[in-house]
Chains A and B, each alone.
Chain A
Amino acid sequence: MTPTQDLEVQQKRELEKKAEATIPARIFVPHTDIFETENALTVVMEMPGVNQEHADITVEDNVLSVAGRIDFSKYEKMQPVYTEYIVGHYRRSFNLSPNNFDEHKISAEMRDGVLTLTLPKAERAKLRRIPLT
């Protein structure tokens, strides 16, 4: 996509927790794009401030979960004078179609605060064209 329009600020969405957390800190939901090609499903998540070591990706019972931790120790002893956004960890999960993906072949790449997950489709889940008669 070529950038044509002016960018606007997207407000961060806070995670709605299913169970109450033991720590009162606020957690945010990363803005996510998901798209599909013939061979794979790709999940792209924006987690500014999270580096490769602090992104945790799991697939369990067909649920893809991503957690991103920010390093806020560098903010230590800094005094905010003007703020427009809140800093916090990220978390989001998606239900995957059962048995559609090869869990062991999922790959992840982190670049400029954007996590790209590639989930290769299992052989049985690949496209079957339906002929029109």
Chain B
Amino acid sequence: MALGFADPVDALFRFQRALDQRLDSDWLEDTTSGVGAFPPINVFRQGNDFLAIIEMPGVNKDDLTLEVRGNAIRISGKKAIDYGGSASVHRRERVAGSFDRTITLPVQLDPDRVTAEYRDGVLAFSLARAESDKPKAIKIN
């Protein structure tokens, strides 16, 4: 189902429901990827390619390392929280630490065309599919 937002009033609701329906879907089932490691990832189809959107608020761009190899992506880095020594805590809900997650995708990637953008604590990882992996139309004679 492709999403179109003709009606803006319940567009977000319908988008959330579409995300809900694909929660932990079996798309990664045949790979070694596990569910639930940090950072959490959403994957969308964009034509023949894929787009991974990953939330990691508070991670500095300089502390983030991305790698692509064959059909795997690796996201590693650290999230630091520093409030200075003299602060007295009222409430602490945020967590800091290091992370290193590898996600093996059910498609081959073209490492030269993979791009990434990090903004507002969200990483958009554009996963270009390898030419050899793209579906080919077959002409019927």
Q: Report which A residues bind B (CB closer than 8 A).
A: 1-10, 23-26, 31-38, 41-42, 44, 46-51, 72-73, 75-89, 110, 112-114
Q: Report which B residues bind A (CB closer than 8 A).
A: 1-5, 9-13, 15-16, 18-25, 27-28, 35-46, 50-51, 55-61, 78-84, 86-99, 119-122
- Report whether B57 and A34 are in contact in the complex, using a CB–CB cutoff of 8 Å: no
Q: Chain B's nearest CB lies how many Å from the CB of A39?
A: 10
- Report whether B97 and A23 are in contact in the complex, using a CB–CB cutoff of 8 Å: no
Which chain B residue shows the least CB distance to A47? B57
Q: Name the one of B22, B55, B96 contacting A49, with C-beta atoms under 8 angstroms.
A: B55
Known: A9-B40, A33-B92, A33-B93. A80 touches B87 (CB 8 A): no
- Report whether A37 and B51 are in contact in the complex, using a CB–CB cutoff of 8 Å: no
15 chain-A/chain-B pairs, Cβ below 8 angstroms: A9-B39, A23-B10, A25-B16, A33-B91, A34-B89, A35-B90, A36-B89, A41-B90, A42-B87, A48-B55, A72-B12, A83-B42, A84-B24, A85-B19, A112-B121
- Report whether B91 and A34 are in contact in the complex, using a CB–CB cutoff of 8 Å: yes
Give the chain B neighbours of A89 by CB distance below 8 A: 12
Known: A23-B12, A49-B120. A82 touches B25 (CB 8 A): yes
Give the chain A neighbours of B99 by CB distance below 8 A: 6-7
- Report whether A7 and B91 are in contact in the complex, using a CB–CB cutoff of 8 Å: no
Give the chain B neighbours of A2 by CB distance below 8 A: 80
Give the chain B neighbours of A81 by CB distance below 8 A: 22, 25, 27, 43-45, 50
Give the chain B neighbours of A47 by CB distance below 8 A: 57, 121
Give the chain A neighbours of B88 by CB distance below 8 A: 35-37
Q: Chain A's nearest CB lies how many Å from the CB of B32?
A: 15
Of all A-B residue pairs in the complex, the 7 with the closest CB atoms, nearest first, are A113-B121, A113-B57, A48-B121, A7-B97, A82-B27, A34-B90, A78-B44
Q: How far is the CA of A82 from the CA of B73 in the complex (A)?
A: 15
- Report whether A75 and B15 are in contact in the complex, using a CB–CB cutoff of 8 Å: yes
- Report whether B45 and A79 are in contact in the complex, using a CB–CB cutoff of 8 Å: yes
Q: Chain A's nearest CB lies how many Å from the CB of B10?
A: 7
- Report whether A82 and B28 are in contact in the complex, using a CB–CB cutoff of 8 Å: yes
- Report whether A72 and B15 are in contact in the complex, using a CB–CB cutoff of 8 Å: yes
Q: Chain A's nearest CB lies how many Å from the CB of B123?
A: 9
